[in-house]
Structure 1
Amino acid sequence: MKSNKVFIEIQFGTAKLEESINAIMSVAQLKKILRMTIQNDAQLTLRFTGKAESRKLNAAYRNKDYATNILTFNYHTPGQALHSDLVICWPIVVQEAKTQGKSIVDHLSHLLVHGALHAQGFDHEDEIEAEAMESLEVAILQKLKIANPYL
């Protein structure tokens, strides 16, 4: 069985964000979830931001003037190692988890899996793509003992 080389850098927009996130999930746990999801060699940057940075990035790259839970930026060339950034807006993640009645750990785990699948080219633009992507998400989350987030 081939072992993938997955390099992960984790960044925090502020020291307060780092403290808040580390109280919920360790860097080792964050990396474990990403490594479980990535199917090939990869270089990933995972960045946690506040609402202002998320809104700025979402406006600049998606023409949507609001903060969003996760953004995925791909830089890789097909046939080469995956190279992507995942940007998570921590206040949105916390807010959504509370609104949806989920634990923050479960919701964050789901978003990490979701973003890492996007980085690998999976999408949910039509029903067939959405079903395929959601099936993979559910299977990976099940390995982490996290319930199906789509129920």
Structure 2
Amino acid sequence: MSEKQNEKVYDLSFFMPGQTVETEEIKVPISKRFVDKKGNVIPFVFKAITTERIDELEKENTNYKNVKGRGRVKELDSQRFYARIAVESTVYPDFRSKELRDAYKTPDPVEVAKRVLSVGGEYANWLNKAIEINGFEDDPEDLEAAVKN
């Protein structure tokens, strides 16, 4: 048997443009404080953002410092980076909306989110959910188990 016959052939068609499943919007209650007129908790709506956009956000939230003996050092403002991912992943409420930014008297959507989610646990829940939705908390072992099943 030649070496060529021994090679496994993998089907790459699954990875071609247009073959992936579109990311879905996910509704998640973040706080019990936000209720509709009937008293039902209003869920936040999230949707994952693209890898390209995450790369842009990382660049926007990276600073460079001159450190003696080490030269120019790259420093990521990780709090701001994850907050920006959360803002962009949150479909509803839209913290970027002019209406909310005007109401909270700030041009910064991250500040709007902090003011809306003024109880510390709410803000942390929101950040964690956005990070999870964007795949940052996918456990490689869980992904392996999904492949086996």
Under a length normalisation based on structure 1, what TM-score does the superposition of the two structures give? Answer: 0.31
Which structure's CA Rg is the greater one? 2
Higher strand share: 1
Higher helix share: 1
Under a length normalisation based on structure 2, what TM-score does the superposition of the two structures give? Answer: 0.31
